[in-house]
Structure 1
Amino acid sequence: MNQKIDQFDQKILQLLQQDARISHAEIGRQVHLSQPAVSERIKRLEAGGVIRAYRADISPRALGYQITAMIRISTQQGRPYAEYVAACPEIIDCYTVTGEDGAVMRVLATDVEHLQRIINELNAFGSTSTAIVLTTHVAGKPISVPAVAA
């Protein structure tokens, strides 16, 4: 870790992950710091790359996406998929991984036919394996500072 994160920073990060729109004054009340001190700490966390962005948590279902799927792709040499993945709005996460698969991605689809079109397009880059998500037990869990080994 490049930056020293103290107990105040940890609490500030926790509060911002729960509600990115919380005011600096409210954070100050909860962590027992002044609003200017909170603002300076947040600026330092942003400048240090600890806080990367502020986002809204949008419901895929509310936008018409009925299916969430995990697609693994075993890429073939010389068939780079990164450009396609970056341009495809339905692919919301993509990770290069170790093992037999080259990547694992989380995909949203409006229905089975829509999912099939995405799979067909991905098959141009290698063989795919798809699992439809039935239940989400954990998503968007707040990130905490790792415990230091004694």
Structure 2
Amino acid sequence: MNQKIDQFDKKILQLLQEDARMSHAEIGRKVHLSQPAVSERIKRLESNRVIRGYRAEINPKALGYDITAMIRVSTQQGRPYADYVANCPEIIDCYTVTGEDGAVMRVLATDVDHLQRIINELNAFGSTSTAIVLTTHVSGKSIAVPNVD
């Protein structure tokens, strides 16, 4: 991190993660800073890419995605999957990882047949292993700013 994050920034980041729609004036009241001071801090955090963006949290089930699955892909040399996963709307997270698997993906599907079609397409890049999510205990958890001095 190129910039110094102070206690005000930490509190602002915490509040924005809890409610990104909170006004700068409300944040100012909670952190004991003026609205212009909060606005300047947020602009700096955005320009330094500490804050990368703002988004709505959508309930996948409300859109018909009844299945969430984790798919591990043991990729093979010369079978790049990055373009496919970037353009597949059902793959909502994809991580390149160490170990036997080359990638781990979080995938949404409307039903088992839909999930099977995605798995079949991913098999073109290597062998897959799929686990259907039964319960989500933690999701979208706020990121704590570490105390680094």
TM surpasses 0.5: yes
How many pairs are equivalent? 149
Q: CA deviation at 1:86?
A: 0.4
Aligned position for 2:21: 21
Aligned position for 1:98: 98
Q: Distance in 1 between matches of 2:146 and 2:69?
A: 30
Q: Distance in 2 between matches of 1:117 and 1:131?
A: 15
Q: Distance in 1 between matches of 2:148 and 2:49?
A: 21
- Deviations 1:32-83, CA, capped at 9 Å, x for gaps: 0000000000000001110000000000000000000000000111111110
Aligned position for 1:34: 34
Q: Distance in 1 between matches of 2:18 and 2:2?
A: 24
- Deviations 1:72-113, CA, capped at 9 Å, x for gaps: 000111111110000000000000000000000000000000
Q: Distance in 2 between matches of 1:3 and 1:132?
A: 40
Aligned position for 1:47: 47
Is residue 114 of structure 2 the alignment partner of residue 114 of structure 1? yes
Q: Distance in 2 between matches of 1:43 and 1:61?
A: 35
**Structure 1 unaligned residues grouped into runs of 5+:** none
Q: Distance in 1 between matches of 2:11 and 2:77?
A: 46
Q: CA deviation at 1:145?
A: 0.8
Aligned position for 2:73: 73
Q: Where does structure 1 differ by over 3 angstroms across 4 or more consecutive aligned residues?
A: none
Q: CA deviation at 1:148?
A: 3.3
> What is the TM-score of this pair, normalised by structure 2?
0.98
Give the letter for the 1:10 counterpart. K
**Aligned residues: percent identity?**
86
- SS of match in other structure, 2:22: coil
Aligned position for 1:82: 82
> What is the TM-score of this pair, normalised by structure 1?
0.97
Is residue 6 of structure 2 the alignment partner of residue 6 of structure 1? yes
